[in-house]
Copies of this chain bind each other. A is one copy, B any other.
């Protein structure tokens, strides 16, 4: 009753790719599971929760190392939250930096796309990359 999921089932339940689960085990993000006589991995409910935790962390853009720390903290509810707060703050700043960079790219690309050109000689994208003046 306790170890009722095979890796395929766990993959479906958690939304994490099967090969990714084995990868997480290899890098010690997940504990090694029990094995049945045939060598198959078997998991329980807590593995699902853990994997979902990891998946949500990845969806928020945290790296594996950060998630490892967060799993540690989640396992010790008495610990201060300071470290997690710090991770969130730092990560938020990184995300905002990336947004800023992408918005700058978007602005240039939008201008380029807005103007149809005919030949490579007067192609806006290529002109931009050559840093010659653009069609405005």
Q: Which residues of A contact B (CB under 8 A)?
A: 49, 52-53, 56-57, 59-61, 70, 73-74, 76-81, 84-85, 87-89, 91-92, 95-96, 98-99, 102-103, 105-106, 108-110, 112-113, 116-126, 128-131
Contacts and interface: CB of A to CB of B under 8 A. Distances in A.
A119 to B, nearest CB: 6
Number of copies: 2
A78 to B, nearest CB: 6
Given A84-B120, A84-B125, 6 more contacts: A53-B129, A53-B130, A61-B105, A84-B123, A85-B123, A92-B113
Given A52-B131, A102-B98, A102-B102, A77 B121 contact: yes
